[in-house]
Structure 1
Amino acid sequence: MPKSDFIPDISADDLTPIVFAITGGELVGDWKISAIGDGIGLGTIGIYRLSGRSRQASGLVEPWTAILKIVDIEKESTGLREYELAQSSDFQSIREGLRPAMCFGTQERSGAERWIWTEDLAGGTQPPWTLDQYLYVARDVGVFHGRSLNEMPAGDWDYLGIYGAVIGGPFFSATLDNLKNTSSHELTGAIFETTSVEAIQSVFAKFNEVGRVLRNITTVFAHNDCHADNLYPIETDGVLTESVAIDWATAGLGPIGEDVGNLSGVGAQWFSIDVDDFESYEKAIFDRYVEGAKSVAGSIDVDHARTVYIAGLGYWGLGKMMMRAYAATMFPQAVNRMCSLSGVSEQKVARKWGVLTDKLYPYAVECVERLCV
């Protein structure tokens, strides 16, 4: 994330075609810009919200707003992937289930720097979500996956899944190497009061095998980083009408059900739902996902979907839980947003993480039993 006072040099020439794409009018007057977002990956230089006014041919002056994401296409492969997707008419035409945020234009800057202009989704539902919102989005993820069972989006896609997108990276390895230290930390030690470090280490001894076996299960086109921070349920007159997704940097092929398992697991980590009723919550999410997938594909292998859902929810969910805990010991500010969103203290966050760890662990064990026979 750039420093909060870093603002890119944007000219009227840069904005003129973008404003025309948004409103069909011409740019008039000054504009405002502010840095937004947090937790940005290595391939992202910065994310900004811009707003101003435009004039139509009729003389009518109206407001406009847009999001500018600046990526480095050489520093990390995700930057190039996101830039290419923004320019793909086939990708931008996806409208069933999850749809990408509308792209108003891309601009090639100096060196490896590229600019991506998209719609501002500030009016969409922000986390924490209600259960109804989770259920609505879960069904849309099912529709999105079901669509690709019938016809994959045009293009050559890498097989990533959550293993390739997140878990296969160095931070997860560092997380596992430092579990003992995480368990003895004054803040995160409470996480391991019931589920021991040894139990967690045992279940993740097979994480490479789990990632390999998942490649042999029904493949769909996947977002691969599907959680509430990257998704926006859109309401019109109080009625949910569509689900829009951002941050497609890890988009590609993945196993059926994994996206929605991740959505379910991360939602619990953000305390959007009552973890004491976790089993009912996760089943409701899965059922709505299956409903959505079947509505498009006609039929799906529900057992495959359930197995991979459990992987996304329990196995990778537990992995992400451990990554959050490790990050909290290394970067105390990492829990600040969690505390502000959930309205609880750091200590209460750690205790709730402990409850969730105890809930996720049996699913992680079941995942290993299903996949590693």
Structure 2
Amino acid sequence: MNRQIQDLFEDSVLTEAARRYGVAAAALKSLGGFESFVYEYEKAGRLYILKITHTSRRSPDYILGELDWLNHLADRGVSAARAVPSQAGRLVEQIPAKDGASHWLAISYVKAPGHLIGADDWHDDTFRKWGKQVGKMHALTQQYQVPDPKFKRIEWDESEEYDLDLYLPESEVLFKEKAARVMVRAEALPRESDGYGLVHFDVHHGNFHIQNGEIMLFDFDDCQYSYFMYDIAICLYNTLWFPKVPVADRTAFACRYLEAFMCGYEEENHLDLKWFAHLHDFLRLRHIDLYSVFHRSWDLNNLEPWQADVMARIKREIEEELPVMGIDFAKLIE
């Protein structure tokens, strides 16, 4: 999280946010958070999530674009933790920040039942159900119309993470040059409704819970217009970088995961095989995205060993134009 945003946060903000959702601040349980402050609370015997973010990250209208799409999906069969209104009936509550110029934004959601995926859940049936939920989202988004133009989410290449001059130092000349080539190739791809639309954009295994073998998605904060294959690439990327079970052969695991995932996906939505020829570039785009995020969010002078290793690996693979995975994805899916 941006350190300037952290410095603006104070206890009175939390107290007021809790009040607006009808609970006491003392009853909130902190769950941490990467780019927002996230809490859990109980009300009338049911568990909810309270998220507090800053207007330097999101505007109220932009968040309403997320929440309208989320509830649209939940109403039509996607297993997703829907947004709930405040005591005043608002989906987004605005609380003045101490700088007098900005606001904190409080949003609440039903807490997804179950638990984060663990080693016992790390198998093909889970991967298939994971793909099934993503496929259902992609099918439904093809008919979705934003109710108000003010709520429209960004296109993927409008994200500030791809403005590499914003966070990367001038010395990163080669990285920026090679990243730009990937961006150009991706931006040239067709943006038609059968392969492009509003997507979750962060369906990694930290963003769903599992209960009795069934999954429920949450954290739609990054939803934006992008390629369906990029959304799928993000799922694959995170299973490879942060697996719940140690992987001796990353290539074999990637093949197994993707086959199971796409079996579930195809139950709900068909994606033309031509898109798999671009999967390598979408994995590279995730590299580029995270490299920018890490420069923005981490203290680069005091990195943990694992953080330094991650950044070094991303830098090398982008600068040397190496594939994130040495697999012919199109042939695999065929």
User: Shared topology, TM-score over 0.5?
Assistant: yes
Percent identity between the two aligned chains: 10
Structure 2 partner of 1:257? 229
Gaps of 5+ in 2: 97-102, 329-334
For residue 80 of structure 2, give the secondary structure of its aligned residue in structure 1: strand
**TM-score, scaled relative to structure 1:** 0.63
Structure 2 partner of 1:361? 322
CA distance in 1, matches of 2:153, 2:52: 23
Q: How far off its partner does 1:232 sit?
A: 1.0
CA distance in 1, matches of 2:18, 2:167: 45
- How many residue pairs match? The answer is 302
CA distance in 1, matches of 2:302, 2:18: 40
CA RMSD in angstroms comes to 4.2
Residue deviations 1:89-113, cap 9 Å, x none? 8536345445244425435344544
Q: How far off its partner does 1:222 sit?
A: 0.6
5 Å matches for 1:1-373?
2=6, 6=11, 8-10=14-16, 14-16=20-22, 32-40=27-35, 44=36, 46-51=37-42, 54=44, 63-72=45-54, 74-77=55-58, 80-86=61-67, 91=72, 93-97=74-78, 99-105=80-86, 106-111=91-96, 112-121=103-112, 123-126=114-117, 130-132=122-124, 133-149=126-142, 151-152=143-144, 154-155=146-147, 157-158=152-153, 160-161=155-156, 163-165=157-159, 167-170=161-164, 174-175=167-168, 177-179=170-172, 203-214=178-189, 216=191, 218-229=195-206, 231-236=207-212, 240-246=213-219, 248-272=220-244, 274=246, 276-297=248-269, 299-304=270-275, 306-313=276-283, 315-320=284-289, 322-323=291-292, 330=300, 332=302, 335=304, 346=305, 350=309, 354=313, 361-363=322-324
Structure 1 partner of 2:331? none
- 2:209·2:216 contact (CA, 8 Å) conserved in 1? yes
Structure 2 partner of 1:342? none
Q: How far off its partner does 1:123 sit?
A: 3.3
- 1:143·1:293 contact (CA, 8 Å) conserved in 2? yes
Rg larger for:
1
Amino acid at match of 1:263: C
- 1:96·1:144 contact (CA, 8 Å) conserved in 2? no
- 1:224·1:250 contact (CA, 8 Å) conserved in 2? yes
CA distance in 1, matches of 2:300, 2:232: 29
Amino acid at match of 1:234: I
Q: How far off its partner does 1:206 sit?
A: 0.8
Amino acid at match of 1:232: F
Structure 2 partner of 1:338? none
For residue 361 of structure 1, give the secondary structure of its aligned residue in structure 2: coil
Amino acid at match of 1:35: S
Amino acid at match of 1:139: K
Q: How far off its partner does 1:51 sit?
A: 3.3
After superposition, the Cα gap between the structure-2 partners of 1:357 and 1:170, relative to the gap in structure 1 and judged at 3 Å, is closer
Residue deviations 1:107-151, cap 9 Å, x none? 5344544321112237332577724444532332123213334x2
CA distance in 1, matches of 2:180, 2:56: 31
- 2:155·2:224 contact (CA, 8 Å) conserved in 1? yes
After superposition, the Cα gap between the structure-2 partners of 1:284 and 1:176, relative to the gap in structure 1 and judged at 3 Å, is farther
Q: How far off its partner does 1:362 sit?
A: 1.8
Gaps of 5+ in 1: 20-28, 55-62, 181-197, 336-345, 368-373
CA distance in 1, matches of 2:315, 2:250: 9
Q: How far off its partner does 1:258 sit?
A: 0.8
Q: How far off its partner does 1:228 sit?
A: 2.7
After superposition, the Cα gap between the structure-2 partners of 1:154 and 1:103, relative to the gap in structure 1 and judged at 3 Å, is same
CA distance in 2, matches of 1:11, 1:352: 36
Q: How far off its partner does 1:224 sit?
A: 2.0
**TM-score, scaled relative to structure 2:** 0.70
